[in-house]
């Protein structure tokens, strides 16, 4: 049994009259990388702020490493590193001075540890430049550096890919993968774009309008998304009678069938026997998002 690191139970939050979060529950175990996916305004950042104790919780509870965030704040937050929204950096200081400020706030951070982390995020050449001269990607990496300086076992990243170009996103992804392996952290990443982080995560949690719609292992979704063929025929009227596979009819000429590759000849054979004219068979790679949409009943995420 893996260690439970983060547990959110039935979180509710109201800001003014607006109910921001309704009954949000998430669990994160050691080694997990959870993608927390939802459109803008779904409550991702608010959830993160509740987890980090930046906002009060109306009802429900957050436990990190066994400590309640509200009752035992300093103990609960001790092994947490986070970047919320943009990395919080002092622009008028150098990268190194920023890290030094963080290291002063924890007892156990040595100078060697700072150097090690600087190397890890590949900032060693620019670490003595003022942060105001950094590119967004470098700031993001420095943000990661100061979040992991004290060897947290839970890393929380809020929209880390925001504003990064594809190259930057790839760099960040590689960095996080590297970190998860080297530093043995559980990582909680929020994003509005699943595609950007799907290769990174092993779990996904979809949130919409303040409610968690689905939490699942990414491999399960992937398996569902694997076999997916679109077949164009002369008429789809009686297709359901002919085939016993899971079928989704799009219009009277196209339908989608979710089967493995090996079963395609079987299907063709049946259709030919029934004198259905086959014009086209396309293999469609279904994205994780589409798979989710299907699962959650065709709602759009964005």
Interface residues toward another protein, by CB under 8 A: 15, 45, 49, 52-56, 73-75, 77-78, 80, 82, 84-86, 88-93, 97, 101-102, 104-106, 146
Q: Which is nearer to another protein, 132 or 252 (CB)?
A: 132
CA distances from 106 to 1, 5, 113, 278, 296 (A): 30, 20, 12, 68, 44
Query: Taking Cα atoms as reference points, which of 177, 117, 112, 116 lies closest to residue 143?
Result: 117
Q: Which is nearer to another protein, 77 or 117 (CB)?
A: 77
Q: Which is nearer to another protein, 91 or 272 (CB)?
A: 91
Q: Compute the least distance from the CB of residue 211 to another protein, in Å.
A: 20
Q: Compute the least distance from the CB of residue 167 to another protein, in Å.
A: 25
Q: Which is nearer to another protein, 90 or 245 (CB)?
A: 90
Three-state helix/strand/coil letters over 182-205: HHCCEEEEEECCHHHHCCCCCEEE
Q: Compute the least distance from the CB of residue 83 to another protein, in Å.
A: 9
Q: Compute the least distance from the CB of residue 249 to another protein, in Å.
A: 44
| Residue 54 φ then ψ, to 5° | -80, -20
* Alpha-carbon dihedral sign for residues 245, 250, 253, 254: negative
Q: Which is nearer to another protein, 55 or 263 (CB)?
A: 55
Helix (H) / strand (E) containing 136: helix 136-148
Q: Compute the least distance from the CB of residue 139 to another protein, in Å.
A: 12
d(CA 154, CA 290): 29
* DSSP-based three-state secondary structure for 49: helix
């Amino acid at each position: 049994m893996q260690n439970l690191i983060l547990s959110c139970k039935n979180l509710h939050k109201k800001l003014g009259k607006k109910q921001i979060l309704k009954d949000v529950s998430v669990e994160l175990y050691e080694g997990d990388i959870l993608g927390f996916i939802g459109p803008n305004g779904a409550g991702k950042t608010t959830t993160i702020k509740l987890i980090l104790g930046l906002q009060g919780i109306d009802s429900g509870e957050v436990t990190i490493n066994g400590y309640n965030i509200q009752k035992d704040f300093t103990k609960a937050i001790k092994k947490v590193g986070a970047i919320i929204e943009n990395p919080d950096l002092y622009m008028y200081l150098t990268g190194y001075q920023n890290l030094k400020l963080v290291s002063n706030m924890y007892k156990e951070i040595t100078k060697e540890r700072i150097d090690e982390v600087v190397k890890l995020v590949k900032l060693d050449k620019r670490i003595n430049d003022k942060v105001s001269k950094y590119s967004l990607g470098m700031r993001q990496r420095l943000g990661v550096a100061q979040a992991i300086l004290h060897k947290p076992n839970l890393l929380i990243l809020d929209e880390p890919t925001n504003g990064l170009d594809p190259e930057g996103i790839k760099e960040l992804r590689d960095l996080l993968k590297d970190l998860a392996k080297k530093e043995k952290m559980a990582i909680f990443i929020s994003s509005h774009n699943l595609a950007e982080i799907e290769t990174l995560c092993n779990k996904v949690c979809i949130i919409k309008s303040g409610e968690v719609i689905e939490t699942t292992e990414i491999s399960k979704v992937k398996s569902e998304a694997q076999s997916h063929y679109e077949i164009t025929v002369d008429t789809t009227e009686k297709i359901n009678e002919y085939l016993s596979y899971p079928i989704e009819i799009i219009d009277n000429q196209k339908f989608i069938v979710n089967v493995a590759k090996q079963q395609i000849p079987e299907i063709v054979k049946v259709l030919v026997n029934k004198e259905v004219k086959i014009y086209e068979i396309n293999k469609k790679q279904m994205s994780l998002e589409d798979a989710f949409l299907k699962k959650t009943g065709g709602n759009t995420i964005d």
